[in-house]
Structure 1
Amino acid sequence: MSSSSDVVDTVPDEKHSTIVHNGPSKSELRTSDTGIILIPQPSDDPRDPLNWTFAKKARIVAVLFLAMFVGFSAPFCGQLNLAQQAALYHKTVVQITYFNSAASAGLATGGYLWWPLSNKFGRTSVIFWTLFGVLAAQIWAPMMTKHDQYAPYLVSRYFAAFFGVTVSVLGPKYLVDMFFLHQRGRAFTVLHLALNFGASAGPTFAGFVAAKAYWPVEYWWSVALCAFTIIVVFFFLEATYYDRGEGAVNRTKPDSWIKDRVETFFPGNKVTAQVTWGETARIAVTPFKIAIAPVLLIIAGFDAISFGFYVALNALTPVWLQLPLKAHGIYGFSVLGNAAFTFVHWIGFIVGLLYGQFFSDRIPLWLVARNKGVWKPEYRLHALWPTNFLLMPLGLGLCGIALHYKLHWMVFALAQFFVTIGSLVSIPITVNYICECFRTHTTEATLVLNSMRLFLGLSINFYINPWIAAVGIGWVYGMMAFFTLFAFMFLVALMIWGHKIREITPFRTSETEEGQHVLNKGEGPEDHGF
C-alpha cells in the first residue's frame, strides 16, 4: 500500500519522460492516508495530473476560479443601476432587466461552440482566447449611451455571457483529471462557488462603483479585472490532458517556459490528441445525443427549477428593493443600499462553501461505508437534503411572505440567504454527479446540463408581471417554493432507481465508477474518520 503523500504530494521532476502503461495490480491498490482506495488509480508517470502536487492542483483551480468569476460577473454588472438605464433607453425597469435574459441566453449557448473547438485547440487555449471576447463585450456595453442603443446593449450582454461561460463548461474536466473520486465533491464546490459568487459580486462591485455616478462607470472595473485574468491564465494555467490508454504517448513539456506557453495557447496545438475538422464536427453532435439520456433530463429538470428560481430572484430583487415608496414600493432602497443588500448572498456563499467542504464528500463516503465499501454515484445526491429539500423552499416561501405582507427587509434578506445556500450547494453536487455518470463524456454532459438549467431563468423576466397579476407577488414565490419541493422528487427518484435509470442512457453505465470499492472490505465508517 502507498500513502497519499507518496501518490499525490511527492512527485518526481516533471521533465521526467517515462511513460508507464500498466497501472498497479489489484493487490497493489494505492490508498490515501485514511485508507480510502484511490479511484482512478494513478500511473507512475509524473506527468499524470493525478500525481501532481496539491499546490500545483490548487493553483490551477484558483486560476479556473478567477476565470469563471470573471465570466459570470461580467454579464451581470449592470444589474443594479436600472433607473438610469430605463430613463436613457425609454424603457420600463422590468424591460431593462431583460439583459439578464440576454445574458442567460449567452450562457446557455456559448458552450456548444467552445466544447468542439476545445477538442481541436485544447481546453486551456479556448479559455484563454474567450477571455478576450469577454473583455471586448465589457468595453462595448458602457459605450452604448445613446437612447437608441438599447438593443446593442442587450447584445453586448449576450456576448459577454457567450464568451464568459467557457470555464463552467470546460472546467469540470480539469477537476476530474486532477482529483480522485473521494476528493471531487470539495473540488467541485470550490470551483462552482465562482459561478454564483460572480453573478452576485458583479452587481455588488458595480453598484458601489456607480452608486453616485452615471451607469457606464460600473463596467470599467470589470474590464480591468478581465485584462488581469488574461495575464494570470497565460502565466499559470496548464493543460491536464493525459491519456492512460495502452500504448498512449503523452506530451513532455519543453524545457523552455516560453515554448511551453506558445504550444499551450497558440495555433498548432500540441497539448491534446490531434483531431481533424471532420472529427471536431462529429464531437459537436455528441452533446445532443447525451441530451436525451433520462438521467441527465432528470437532473436538468431539478436544476432548471432550483437554479432558475435563484436566477429569477437575483434578476428581480433589485426591482422590488429599488421601487420608490411613492410608486407603491415596499423598501425604496437606493442603488448603494441595494449593493449593500447583496452581501446577504456573500454570507450565503460562505455558509454553502463550508457545508460543501465538510459534507459533499463525507456524506457519500459515509453511505459507502454502510454499503461494504462499494460506490454508487447516487450517494452524491444525499448531501442535498438539508439545503434543497429544507432551506431553499423555506427561503422562497419567506420571500413571498415578506413581499406580500411588506415585512422588514431583514426577513427578505434571511429568505435570500436560505435560497443562496441551496443554489450554491446544488450546482457542484449535480454537476459532479452527472460527470460521474458520463465519465468518458464529462464535458458534453456538463454542457447540456448548464444549458438546460438556464431555460427558466432566461424566460422568467418576460412573464413575471402577468404571473404577479394572476396570483399576487406572495403566491408567485410561494408557488416557486412548492415547485422546488416537486423538483427535489426528481432526485429522490434517482436515489431509489438511479442504476436502472442510468442503464437506459445511450451511453453505457460502465462508464461510471459504480461498483468499485472505495473502502477496503470489512472496514466501517469509523475506520476512516466519518
Structure 2
Amino acid sequence: MSETASEEIKGTLTTATPQKVVTDKHGRDVVLIPQPTDDPEDPLNWPMRKKIIIFASVCLAAFAAQMSPNSNMLTFMSQVPAYNRTANDLLYSVAAGLAGWVAGPFFFIPLVGVIGRSAVIFWSLVGIFAGQIWGGEMTGANDYIPFTISRLFTGLFGGIPAILGSGYIVDMFFLHQRGKAFAVFEIIVIFAVVGGGTLGGFIANNNPWDLVFWWTLGPVGAAIILVFVFVEETTYDRDAVVPGRAPLPKSWLANRIATYLPGIRTQPAGKGKEFKAELIYEQVQRAIIPFQITFAPITLLMGTYIFIALGLPVMQASTLATYLEPPVAAGGYGFSSLQMAFFTMAAWVGIFCAQVYGYFFNDKTPLWVARHRGGTWHTEYRLANTILPSLLLPIGLGLWGAGLQYHLHFMVLAVGSFIIWFSALLALPVCYNYIIECFLHNPVEASVSLNAYRVSFGLISVFISTDWQTAVGVGWMWGMGAFFIVFVDIIMIGLILKGHVVRQWTTILSRTLAFTEDGATISNKHDEAA
C-alpha cells in the first residue's frame, strides 16, 4: 500500500493529460478509475495513511464481529454435558449463529441510509459485545435455549461489518488497488471464522468452556474504540444535481458525536413533507435492492459458484469437531481442544498463503490481461484469478473425504484442509470484487447478497450432513462435494468467457442497478509503448 501511495503522488505531479494517471514502478502510466474530483472531501483524494487507518479499523471490526457468533465452533462438544444435550443439539447452536449471519444484513443494512455506514458498524459491535456476555453467562443446565438464542442474536450483528467493508473499499480505493484491498479484507473475514475457533480451542483446553466467549470481549471492545476514534463516513456523491449532506463539524469530538450519536447528520438533510416522503421511499428501495441483486442473472450464476465453492469449506469448519474429537474406537481421532486448535493451523497456513498470493496477483493479473488485450478494461478480467483455486479445490475435498473414509493419518487431513482453505480464500475475494464491480453504485447491497450465498450452504449442511453421510458414507459425501465443485467450475468458465453477455441481461432487467467500469481505458500511449 505504501508503494501505491508514492505512485499517487507521482501521478498527480507528473500527469499533463486531462485524465489523472499514476506511474507504476515499471514506468507505465495507469489511468485512475474512477477519476477523482478536485474536492479534498472526496475519499479518493484522502492521504493513503488516512485510508489505511480507516481500512485497518474496519478490518478489525469485521474480524472481531465475524469470529464472535461461533466462537465455540471447536469447543461445543465440551458443552454437551453442561446442558445434558446431544452433540447435534450443540451443533444447532452453531447453526443459529450462521442463520444470524445470513439474515442480519437484510434487516440492518437499510439503516445505512438513515444513520450511515460508520454508525451501523459501531452499534452492531455494541450488540455483539452484549451478545457475547449473554452467551458467556448461559452456563446452567437449563440454559441451552437462551444460549442458542444468544448465538442467533450475536449472529444477526456479526455479519454487518464484513458486509459494509466493501463500501469503504469502493469509496477509498481505485480500480487498480481494489484487488489487494479485497484480498486483505475477505481473508481477514474468513480467517475470523477459523482463527476464532482456534483461539477458543487453546483457551478451553485448560479453562472452563465459557471463557471462549469472554475472551472475545477484548477484540470486540478494541474494535468499538478504534471505529469510534478513526472511522469516517466515506460516502461521497459525485452527482452535482443531487443535494449532499452538510459538512460535518471539524472539531474531533463534535465530528464523532455527529457521526455516531446517532449518525443522522452523515446523511443528506432536507425539509418539508416532500423530502420526508422521498426519504421513506429511498429506504424502502434500499431494503429491496439486496433482493434484486440476489436474483439478478449475473449474481445467480456467481452466487451458485460461491454457494458451493465457499459453502463446502464452511461446512468443513463447522463439522470439524464431530470428526476429530470422538474417540478412536468411535471412528474419530480422540483430539482434545488443544489438539483441535493446533490442527486448524493447517487452515491458517492456507489462509496466509492465499493472502500472499492475492496481494501480489489479484490486481496484477487482470491488469496484465487488460494491457495485452488493447488496454481496455473488462470486468471479467478479474475472474482470471479463479482458475487456480477452481482446479485445486476438488483435489482438497477429495483428499479430505478419503482421509476420513479410510481413517488415514491426521496429516493427510491437514494437507486436505490446507488445500481447501487456500483454494477457497483465493477465489472468495475475486468473486466478491467481481460482483461488486458489476453493481458499483450498490457495493454494500451486493455484499449482502453474496454473504447469503456464501453462508447458506454451511447453514444447511448442519442439518443435512448427518443424513447425507449416513446415506452415502463420509468419503462419498465429500467426494460428491468435489464433483459439485467441478460442476460450478463449468459455470465459472462460462462467466470468464461470456460474463459480459450475462451482465447485459442483468442491465435489461435492472437498468438502475447494473453499473460497471467496463470499457474504461486503463493505459495510455505511454503505457502501450513501454
For the criterion TM > 0.5, the same-fold answer is yes
What SS class does the counterpart of residue 379 from structure 1 fall into?
Answer: helix
- Cα distance in 2 for partners of 1:305, 1:11 equals 42
- Cα distance in 2 for partners of 1:267, 1:338 equals 42
Partner in structure 2 of residue 32 of structure 1: 22
- Cα distance in 2 for partners of 1:459, 1:309 equals 11
**What is the TM-score when the length of structure 2 is the normalising length?**
0.92
Partner in structure 1 of residue 251 of structure 2: 256
- Residue 501 of structure 2 corresponds to residue 507 of structure 1: no
Tell me which amino acid in the other structure corresponds to 1:515: G
- Residue 206 of structure 2 corresponds to residue 202 of structure 1: no
Query: Does structure 2 retain, via aligned residues, the 8 Å contact 1:11–1:53?
Result: no
Q: CA RMSD in A?
A: 2.2
Task: Compute the displacement of 1:10 (Å).
Answer: 8.9
For residues 343-395 of structure 1, give each alpha carbon's deviation from its aligned partner in whole angstroms, at most 9, with x where no partner exists.
112111110001101111111011101220011111111101112x2221111
- What is the aligned counterpart of 1:339 among 338, 341, 350? 341
Tell me which amino acid in the other structure corresponds to 1:438: F
- Cα distance in 1 for partners of 2:318, 2:34 equals 41
What SS class does the counterpart of residue 484 from structure 1 fall into?
Answer: helix
Query: Does structure 1 retain, via aligned residues, the 8 Å contact 2:326–2:334?
Result: yes
Task: Compute the displacement of 1:125 (Å).
Answer: 0.6
- Cα distance in 2 for partners of 1:225, 1:522 equals 48
Partner in structure 1 of residue 430 of structure 2: 429
Query: Does structure 1 retain, via aligned residues, the 8 Å contact 2:399–2:413?
Result: yes
Task: Compute the displacement of 1:184 (Å).
Answer: 0.4
- What is the aligned counterpart of 2:51 among 36, 57, 61? 57
Q: Give the 3 Å change call, closer, same or farther, for CA 94–268 of structure 1 in structure 2.
A: closer
Task: Compute the displacement of 1:327 (Å).
Answer: 2.2
Partner in structure 1 of residue 230 of structure 2: 236
- Cα distance in 2 for partners of 1:431, 1:251 equals 32
Partner in structure 2 of residue 136 of structure 1: 130
What SS class does the counterpart of residue 21 from structure 2 fall into?
Answer: coil
Query: Does structure 1 retain, via aligned residues, the 8 Å contact 2:30–2:527?
Result: no
Tell me which amino acid in the other structure corresponds to 1:123: R
- Cα distance in 1 for partners of 2:454, 2:187 equals 16
Tell me which amino acid in the other structure corresponds to 2:480: M
Partner in structure 2 of residue 21 of structure 1: none
Task: Compute the displacement of 1:29 (Å).
Answer: 0.6
Task: Compute the displacement of 1:455 (Å).
Answer: 1.4
What SS class does the counterpart of residue 36 from structure 1 fall into?
Answer: strand
Partner in structure 2 of residue 305 of structure 1: 308
Tell me which amino acid in the other structure corresponds to 2:126: F
Partner in structure 2 of residue 158 of structure 1: 152
Tell me which amino acid in the other structure corresponds to 1:272: Q
- Residue 523 of structure 2 corresponds to residue 496 of structure 1: no
Query: Does structure 2 retain, via aligned residues, the 8 Å contact 1:9–1:51?
Result: no
Query: Does structure 2 retain, via aligned residues, the 8 Å contact 1:372–1:521?
Result: no
What SS class does the counterpart of residue 298 from structure 2 fall into?
Answer: helix
Partner in structure 1 of residue 176 of structure 2: 182
- Paired positions, count: 510
What SS class does the counterpart of residue 340 from structure 1 fall into?
Answer: helix
Partner in structure 2 of residue 270 of structure 1: 265
Query: Does structure 1 retain, via aligned residues, the 8 Å contact 2:436–2:447?
Result: yes
For residues 232-252 of structure 1, give each alpha carbon's deviation from its aligned partner in whole angstroms, at most 9, with x where no partner exists.
111111110111112555653
Partner in structure 1 of residue 214 of structure 2: 220
Tell me which amino acid in the other structure corresponds to 1:481: A
Partner in structure 1 of residue 523 of structure 2: 519
For residues 154-191 of structure 1, give each alpha carbon's deviation from its aligned partner in whole angstroms, at most 9, with x where no partner exists.
11111111101111221101100001111100001111
- What is the aligned counterpart of 2:84 among 55, 80, 90? 90
- Cα distance in 2 for partners of 1:371, 1:31 equals 20
Task: Compute the displacement of 1:223 (Å).
Answer: 1.5
- Residue 286 of structure 2 corresponds to residue 283 of structure 1: yes
- Cα distance in 2 for partners of 1:11, 1:519 equals 13
Tell me which amino acid in the other structure corresponds to 2:322: V
- What is the aligned counterpart of 1:172 among 159, 166, 169? 166
Q: Give the 3 Å change call, closer, same or farther, for CA 423–27 of structure 1 in structure 2.
A: same
Task: Compute the displacement of 1:207 (Å).
Answer: 1.1
- What is the aligned counterpart of 2:376 among 366, 371, 374? 374
Query: Does structure 2 retain, via aligned residues, the 8 Å contact 1:9–1:54?
Result: no
Partner in structure 2 of residue 420 of structure 1: 421
For residues 132-174 of structure 1, give each alpha carbon's deviation from its aligned partner in whole angstroms, at most 9, with x where no partner exists.
1100110011211122222221111111111011112211011
Gaps of 5+ in 2: 270-277
Partner in structure 1 of residue 388 of structure 2: 386
What SS class does the counterpart of residue 392 from structure 1 fall into?
Answer: helix
- Cα distance in 2 for partners of 1:121, 1:405 equals 55
Tell me which amino acid in the other structure corresponds to 2:520: Q
- Cα distance in 2 for partners of 1:458, 1:27 equals 52
Segment of structure 1 superposing worse, 412-421 or 238-247: 238-247
- Cα distance in 2 for partners of 1:250, 1:46 equals 15
1:70-85 equivalences under 5 Å are 70-85=64-79
Segment of structure 1 superposing worse, 395-404 or 80-89: 80-89
Task: Compute the displacement of 1:454 (Å).
Answer: 1.6
Query: Does structure 1 retain, via aligned residues, the 8 Å contact 2:11–2:21?
Result: no
Q: Give the 3 Å change call, closer, same or farther, for CA 143–4 of structure 1 in structure 2.
A: closer
Task: Compute the displacement of 1:26 (Å).
Answer: 11
For residues 251-296 of structure 1, give each alpha carbon's deviation from its aligned partner in whole angstroms, at most 9, with x where no partner exists.
5342311000011111352223347334212321122222221100
Tell me which amino acid in the other structure corresponds to 1:382: A
- Cα distance in 2 for partners of 1:445, 1:228 equals 28
- Cα distance in 2 for partners of 1:5, 1:267 equals 33
- Cα distance in 2 for partners of 1:359, 1:84 equals 42
Q: Give the 3 Å change call, closer, same or farther, for CA 26–99 of structure 1 in structure 2.
A: farther
Query: Does structure 2 retain, via aligned residues, the 8 Å contact 1:73–1:199?
Result: yes
Task: Compute the displacement of 1:521 (Å).
Answer: 4.7
For residues 76-116 of structure 1, give each alpha carbon's deviation from its aligned partner in whole angstroms, at most 9, with x where no partner exists.
11112233211122222233122221111111111112211
Query: Does structure 1 retain, via aligned residues, the 8 Å contact 2:96–2:148?
Result: yes
- Cα distance in 2 for partners of 1:255, 1:523 equals 41
- Cα distance in 2 for partners of 1:83, 1:436 equals 42
Paired-residue identity, %: 37
Partner in structure 2 of residue 361 of structure 1: 363
- Cα distance in 2 for partners of 1:281, 1:480 equals 39
What SS class does the counterpart of residue 244 from structure 1 fall into?
Answer: coil
Partner in structure 2 of residue 352 of structure 1: 354
Q: Give the 3 Å change call, closer, same or farther, for CA 384–268 of structure 1 in structure 2.
A: closer
Partner in structure 1 of residue 326 of structure 2: 323
**What is the TM-score when the length of structure 1 is the normalising length?**
0.92
- Residue 296 of structure 2 corresponds to residue 314 of structure 1: no
Query: Does structure 1 retain, via aligned residues, the 8 Å contact 2:75–2:337?
Result: yes
Tell me which amino acid in the other structure corresponds to 1:184: R
